[in-house]
Structure 1
Amino acid sequence: MVKKGFYISGALVILFFVLSGLFVQKQPPNVLFICIDDLRPDLKCYGNTEVRSPNLDALAAESSLFTRHYVTQPTCGASRFSLLTGRRPRTPIHLTNEAIEREISGKPRSEIPETFVDHFRQSGYYTVGIGKISHSPDGYVYGYEEPRSNQLELPHSWDEMLLDAGKWITGWNAFFAYADGTNRQTHKGEVKPYESAKVPDEGYPDGLSAQLAVTKLNELAKKSQPFFLSVGFFKPHLPFNAPQKYWDLYDESKLSLTPSPDLPTDVNPASLHNSGEFNSYKAGDENASLTKPVSDAYARKLRHAYYAGVSYTDAQVGKVLDELKRLKLDKNTIVVVWSDHGWHLGDYRVWGKHTIFERAVRSVLMVKVPQTAGGQQRDEIVSSIDIYPTLLELCSLKPVGNLDGQSFVRLLKKKKAPAWENVAYSYFNRGVSLRTDRYRFTKYFRKQEPIVELYDHQVDPNENHNVAKERPEVVEKLTPLWAKGNTGVYQ
């Protein structure tokens, strides 16, 4: 009788652990969504061996790394609007940094597009934002030199929207921060576009954001509720400011310069710009313009500064990922690292974003899914608007029907490439640009000729030669596909 009872008890114990295991497996996955401002794919994992990015490289080794991820608009606020809503731009306001403020903030829920953060929140997730996720550095609507308002950019999305602005007091001051507590605004622009200071990581705002994210992860680990945590880092956005130790990682004299020092052939300067944002830092050693490039020495200095910012942010990302692992949350947390656009580091004499060339619209994207094989490089073309439906599918949430993007979950799960349409569209500067597997085809709605540009990436990956006039048959073939992406935003 005792033996029989023993067997029954043992069976119950085994059943308990089996059911417990099943229960754990059914827990909804958490999401850690990391946004990095102005990060072009200049990381070692993307092939740039000059850059020191050990933490992002390690994450890439466990993720699906997308080598051809494109944003819809190469400016911060507009790019993030399309990311969050899963939609291409349809009106001129969607091309501006005011897109979220004008289209979402302060409006009734019934009148606004639902962001994927809002969707997660309505689906039972606890949502936390830290830093720059939408457009403003702390998620509130106010001007560069104004006190912070109480109006959220995404009023329905967050359970908590946070930023530790430290000695800089407001988010915008922190965004343009210098180590002594000043910022670009207080100096009226009379500052250099870079700084190296002998300070700890917390001597600049991104170090404070990493610290806050670590604290918040510890709080979220104690909740039974699944979480969606987004952390937005400022660097390498201008000004290129970082602690001295990250500058010390580089030998400036050995840094490479752009393979595209001059304007592309047969391209109107109207397709580019004179680096207005960069030149707003008036104490810089040299100004940039399309007619006169900066010197090679200054170009190396600026590249050094940008790379120092990349390495600084890489270290902050590492702190957050390390804490996620220490808390054993990594086993059930999807991790996404995304950048809102690329950046011209002197390419075509431009220092900035705001073009629809490859350098400005191609950016970083890596996705790590627990219990899914990582370490794979995906060369399919994906768009930032594809992230919304992908996250919903990964978390088994109800799909949204009015999105322009498509889920790329099948690319995450299959090493052998499944059927996929290699197409992405980008919009800016009165132009619509189509990226296919081989070509970039751009058409502008303007008077300045030429209005059509064609780049053959098979022979010209740096887009140095517009061959539209030489390849009219390709232009004709691509025009209908380009037209599918013309949303009428310029009409």
Structure 2
Amino acid sequence: MNLRRVNIAFLLLSMLILGSCKTKEESVKLTNSKPKNILFIAVDDLKPLLNVYGENQMHTPNIDRLAKMGTIFTNAHVQQAVCGPSRASVMTGMYPDNTKVWDLDTNFRESAPELMSMPEYLITQGYETSATGKIYHDNSTSSGHDAKSWSIPHSNPNYFDKKYGPPAYGTYQNPNTKRLIKIYEEEAKEKGFNNKQQRKYVDKRIRPSTECVDVSDEAYRSGLFPIEGVRKMDKMLETGKPFFLGIGFRKPHLAFVAPKKYWDLYKREDIKLSEPQKLSKGTPDIAYHSFGELRGYSDIDNNFGVGDVFPEAKQRELIHGYMACISYIDAQIGKLLDALEERNILDETVIVLWGDHGYHLGDHTLWNKHSNFEQATRIPFMFAGPSVAKNIKVDKPVELLDLFPTLFDLAGVKSLELDGKSLKPLLDTDPNTNINPKYAISQYRRHKSKMGYSIRTKRYRYTEWHDEGYRSFTPYKEERILGRELYDYEVDPLETKNLINDASYADTAKLLKAELKSFLTK
């Protein structure tokens, strides 16, 4: 036999074998690198009043379950503590000064048309995207709840439990409340009022801040979102593409309405009141607001303002309602997790849960959000799924706009250039992939011309309030600064005293000021 032919035959056979092995390896690699599904759970007005954040009075078994499946961030902060700017920021991965959204009316498609929403980008990466509920702020988004974001249209379900019918104004199921609303609507019509005037007329007379009635989960829209979400999930699974599914729960936003069984989980007399029940010492007036959102309800005394403490009974009622709403949403989240398990796609799906800002429940005599205090900026923020370490807590300061870069990294999608950063190195147990974020940035606008910028490190918060329409893209001038704040969370976790003029903190204040100025002028 010709030795040359033998060698050639052997070489060809080897190449075939190696080629076969290589193809198999490449096939495995391709399978492993297939982009993961994304379940995106947004919860309106949700602060970290949860068991996994140390609040053992809460009944949140499903959020506890999700936390054990993954990693939670205990020092996570929003970019602006109000719905419109916060959601525009997270959905684009950009700071408010880049989205140009600082209020509840501006649509980033108009203020910053060069930006792309993250679900919109995922469509270009081969994803099916869809959502139900509140993902963007309704009053500051394009038609179709930002139709460009969805390959399958966004929807708000309205198939309420037929036993009770639709809730009045999308909110109330109490029969007496619904009866009174109809009466006042008729009165307003007789007076010749248009639709907007009719609603204002009714709200002044009957718009309760809480509701506890014995109805099913599906009597309110929040109970319909998991049903609608699972329907969308199944529709997207049929396409064979990876999916992005957004579920936007509207509670615990006011009004605090939830089925009675969730109220029954708590004893009102055992509920802890928020602290401090007074203004912080030495804090500038601009740091506060008069909680106009809550005063828009008919059972709230409109004379209450900054520094006024609500009667204890009303505080307990409101906090009770907020807690009941959290437990109501927790039950709906459990239905979504069950759906992933039933479809055997839990290991193929990255899950993120986030709140669009924190919430004041009487601390600093404040209610709602709308501030740069800790209770307004700090949020629950957690990830679970492939490549995420289980049952881990991270206390480094991170920002909500880090969400999408992190999701892209976890899901295996190439990212855009964004203001946020990927937190994936903090989501595993490998010390070689660690990062060390120094601070989180928040801001809040007052009276259109004034803006407060706040830098939160692991230990401190430093805030500057600027006048004359200052934004980070305009010249930084010391003379524009109206007031400053400094809090040390190791010695004063409740922010009871502004330390900005304390001589022992002079070096700390100087360092944090330099950090904030560097951020604002870069």
TM-score by length of 2: 0.81
Following superposition of structure 1 onto structure 2, how do residues 53-452 of structure 1 map, counting pairs within 5 Å?
Answer: 53-90=60-97, 93-99=100-106, 101=107, 103-104=108-109, 111-136=113-138, 141=142, 151-159=143-151, 160-166=153-159, 173-174=169-170, 176-178=171-173, 187-189=202-204, 190-284=206-300, 288-401=304-417, 403-414=418-429, 416=431, 418-429=434-445, 430-446=451-467, 451-452=483-484
Given the superposition, is the C-alpha separation of residues 201 and 288 from structure 1 closer, same or farther in structure 2, using an over 3 Å criterion? Answer: farther
The gaps in structure 2 that reach 5 residues or longer are 1-20, 182-198, 446-450, 469-479
- Matched with 2:512 is 478
> 2:492 maps to which residue?
460
Q: Alignment partner of 2:382: what SS?
A: strand
Q: AA paired with 1:387? A: L
CA 1:18/1:45 → structure 2, altered by over 3 Å: closer, same or farther? Answer: same
Q: Unaligned stretches of 5+ in structure 1?
A: 1-13, 142-150
Give the corresponding residue for 2:8.
none
Q: What is the distance in 2 between the residues matched to 1:327 and 1:45?
A: 27
Counterpart CA distance in 2 for 1:79 and 1:322 is 29
Classify 1:435/1:461 alpha carbon distance in 2 versus 1 (closer, same or farther; 3 Å).
same
Higher share in helix: 2
Q: Tell me, yes or no, if the aligned pair for 2:166 and 2:219 is still in contact at 8 Å.
A: no
Alpha-carbon distance in structure 2 between the residues aligned to 1:291 and 1:309 = 27
- Deviation of 1:398 (Å): 2.4
Residues 169, 272 of structure 1: CA spacing in aligned structure 2 closer, same or farther, 3 A cutoff?
farther
Q: CA deviation at 1:171?
A: 12
Give the percent of matched residue pairs that are identical in Structure 1 and Structure 2: 32
Q: Is the 8 A contact 1:77 1:98 kept in 2?
A: yes
Give a deviation string over 1:246-271, Cα, whole Å, max 9, x none. Answer: 00000010011112111111012321
Shift of 1:487: 6.4
Quote the Cα distance in structure 1 between the aligned partners of 2:229 and 2:202. 30
Cross-structure match for 1:144? none
Q: What do residues 363-401 of structure 1 show as CA deviations (whole Å, max 9, x unaligned)?
A: 010000225431100111110111121122222322212
Q: Deviation at 1:423?
A: 0.6
Give the Cα separation in 1 of the matches to 2:150 and 2:411: 18
* Alpha-carbon distance change, 302 to 169 in structure 1, aligned in 2, over 3 angstroms: same
Q: Which amino acid aligns with 1:127?
A: T
- RMSD over aligned Cα atoms: 3.0
TM-score by length of 1: 0.86
CA contact (8 A) 1:78 1:98 kept: no
Q: Give how far 1:356 is off.
A: 0.6
Asked whether the 8 Å contact 1:386–1:406 carries over to 2, the reply is yes
Contact in 1 for aligned 2:290/2:305 (Cα 8 Å): yes
Change (3 A) 1:111 1:273: closer
Q: How many residues align?
A: 458
Q: CA–CA distance in 1 between the matches of 2:231 and 2:22? A: 37
Find the aligned partners of 1:319 and 1:338 in 2 and give their Cα distance: 17
